[in-house]
């Protein structure tokens, strides 16, 4: 397995170690101290257990001195612009990489670990400079106002999803507990997503886990705290997107709406699956009403994922893009909450901070803005290819010693004489030959498949339908 993953890195030209000049620059860089001091606010982070590249910390409270109507969301974002000198060695390396890659045998960071896991990360108990978003919400979770400014902060605790969910489930959280308002605000923002017409697929995640026995795949659904936490990031990204559009400068994450033909095809497919999408029901509401445990739901979500394609970045300075919205979110949206792990966020932060301060956008950011869409497209494509190839190899490793065995599976989709199936255990997704005609083994049906062969070096798996 180790050899297959090493070969994958070579095949996809995955960046290796950082050059000495980038490491030296990262170790010596020091951000200017901001005038605003928010160290008295008890920010906390919420991430997967064991994370070190902590981009975001939040602080939530009710509005007004007497806990009046509405809420104030403060979202502190790692001050990567303060550590990365424009046109310096770290900047050049980050532009080459584009984003952090997460592989089974270790991550490939966007920035040197001394920054991404150390000096710039919002680690607990450490004083950090950060870009702090302050966003006001009314009782229904509707955004009232937003601003961002650099400040000095200190995170009080590093929370992880599992333990945070357990705390919420136990109930009885004190009013000053950092998680006390997260469920309420998270649910209100999810409801606002319904109102906008947005739709979160919430597909089960397939995570590659390494332990003493080797590699395995865990298929799981996001916990509620993960969804609520994601809503804070989405809220901030939408505030940034609107801010950029109003000022006619920025970098948006865009996605066109599905075509009428794609919608008709989707309606036909889900009707054939026995779960028709009625005209009177909004797309997002239809998806949210699906039974997550029904075999056909996996096939429906697979079909739904094909509706929203064409995600891209749109840089603009003077004239807004003709289609500025991100269709799945149903609003303009910008990436500004993960600068340790994604190149584009560094530009988004400095642009929005300048707009809020009433100052000029830094010349380095304005001049290089047109380069970003191509850089992000390239890195996103590489990330998709590398993570997909890694998953293929781990899946092949799970079946290598079980060739000849028969497994239960669900048909995700049919394409001619091929069926895309998802084995229940071990969690493997692959294609296999199937009789022509979707009436035989249709999408959403349960089948039995035999593992014929599995090549770890290439990730190729051969399955055969049984019966």
Residues of the chain above pLDDT 70, percent: 98
Q: How many helices (H) and strands (E) does the chain have?
A: 14, 19
What integer is the mean pLDDT of 376-395? 94
Report strand pairing: 36-37 vs 43-47: unpaired
Task: Dihedral sign for Cα 349, 365, 15, 334, please.
Answer: positive
- 125-181 confidence digits (pLDDT tens): 999 999 999 999 999 999 999 999 999 999 999 999 999 999 999 999 999 999 999
Comparing 2 with 93, the larger pLDDT belongs to 93
CA distance 117 to 53: 5
Tokens 């019966």, residue located: 467
Structural domains of the chain sorted by starting position, each given as residue range(s) with its CATH number in brackets: 19-251+312-389 (no CATH), 260-305 (no CATH), 401-465 (2.40.50.140)
Task: Give which of 199, 221, 421, 227 is closest to 307, Cα–Cα.
Answer: 199
What is the token pair recorded at 371? 């380069």
Predicted confidence at residue 351, as pLDDT, reads 98
- What is the pTM for the complete model shown? 0.91
Contact 50, 211 (CB under 8 A): no
- 296-310 confidence digits (pLDDT tens): 887 888 788 778 888
Predicted confidence at residue 94, as pLDDT, reads 98
Label residue 382 by pLDDT band (50, 70, 90). Answer: very high
The DSSP line for 121-190 is: S--TT-EEEEEEEEEEE-TTS-EEEEEEEEEEEEEEEEEEHHHHHHHHHH----TTSTTTTHHHHHHHHH
Burial of 68 (0-12, 13-18, 19+ CB in 10 A): exposed
Tokens 């001050």, residue located: 79
CA distance 376 to 1: 30
CA distance 176 to 360: 39
Report strand pairing: 127-137 vs 71-78: antiparallel
């Amino acid at each position: 397995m180790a050899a297959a993953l090493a070969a994958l890195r070579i095949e996809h030209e995955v960046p290796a170690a950082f050059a000495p000049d980038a490491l030296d620059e990262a170790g010596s860089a020091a951000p200017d101290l901001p005038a605003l001091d928010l160290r008295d606010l008890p920010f906390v982070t919420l991430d997967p257990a064991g994370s070190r590249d902590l981009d975001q910390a939040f602080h939530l409270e009710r509005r007004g001195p007497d806990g009046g109507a509405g809420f104030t969301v403060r979202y502190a974002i790692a001050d990567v612009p303060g550590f990365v000198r424009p046109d310096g060695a770290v900047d050049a390396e980050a532009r080459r990489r584009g984003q952090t890659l997460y592989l089974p045998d270790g991550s490939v960071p966007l920035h040197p670990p001394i920054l991404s896991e150390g000096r710039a990360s919002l680690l607990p108990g450490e004083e950090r400079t950060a870009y702090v978003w302050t966003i006001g919400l009314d009782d229904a979770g509707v955004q009232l106002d937003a601003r961002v400014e650099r400040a000095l902060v200190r995170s009080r605790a590093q929370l992880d999803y599992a333990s945070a969910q357990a705390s919420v489930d136990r109930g009885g959280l004190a009013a000053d507990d950092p998680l006390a308002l997260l469920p309420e605000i998270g649910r209100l923002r999810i409801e606002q997503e319904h109102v906008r017409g947005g739709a979160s697929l919430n597909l089960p995640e397939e995570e590659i886990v390494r332990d003493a026995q080797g590699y395995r795949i865990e298929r799981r659904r996001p916990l509620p705290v993960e969804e609520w936490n994601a809503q804070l990031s989405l809220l901030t990204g939408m505030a940034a997107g609107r801010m950029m559009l109003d000022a006619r400068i920025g970098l948006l994450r865009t996605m066109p709406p599905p075509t009428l033909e794609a919608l008709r095809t989707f309606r036909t497919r889900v009707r054939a699956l026995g779960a028709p999408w009625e005209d009177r029901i909004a797309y997002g509401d239809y998806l949210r009403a699906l039974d997550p445990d029904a075999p056909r739901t996996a096939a429906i979500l697979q079909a739904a994922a094909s509706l929203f394609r064409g995600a891209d970045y749109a840089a603009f300075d003077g004239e807004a893009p003709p289609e500025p919205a991100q269709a799945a979110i149903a609003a303009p949206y910008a990436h500004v909450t993960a600068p340790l792990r994604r190149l584009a966020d560094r530009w988004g932060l400095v642009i929005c901070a300048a707009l809020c301060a009433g100052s000029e956008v830094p010349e380095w950011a304005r001049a290089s803005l047109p380069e970003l869409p191509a850089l992000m497209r390239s890195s996103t494509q590489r990330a998709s290819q590398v993570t997909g190839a890694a998953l293929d190899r781990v899946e092949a490793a799970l079946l290598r010693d079980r060739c000849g065995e028969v497994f239960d599976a669900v048909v995700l989709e049919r394409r001619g004489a091929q069926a895309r199936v998802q084995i229940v255990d071990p969690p493997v997704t692959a294609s296999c030959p199937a009789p022509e005609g979707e009436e035989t083994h249709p999408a959403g049906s349960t089948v039995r498949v035999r593992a014929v062969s599995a090549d770890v070096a290439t990730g190729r798996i051969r399955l055969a339908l049984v019966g």
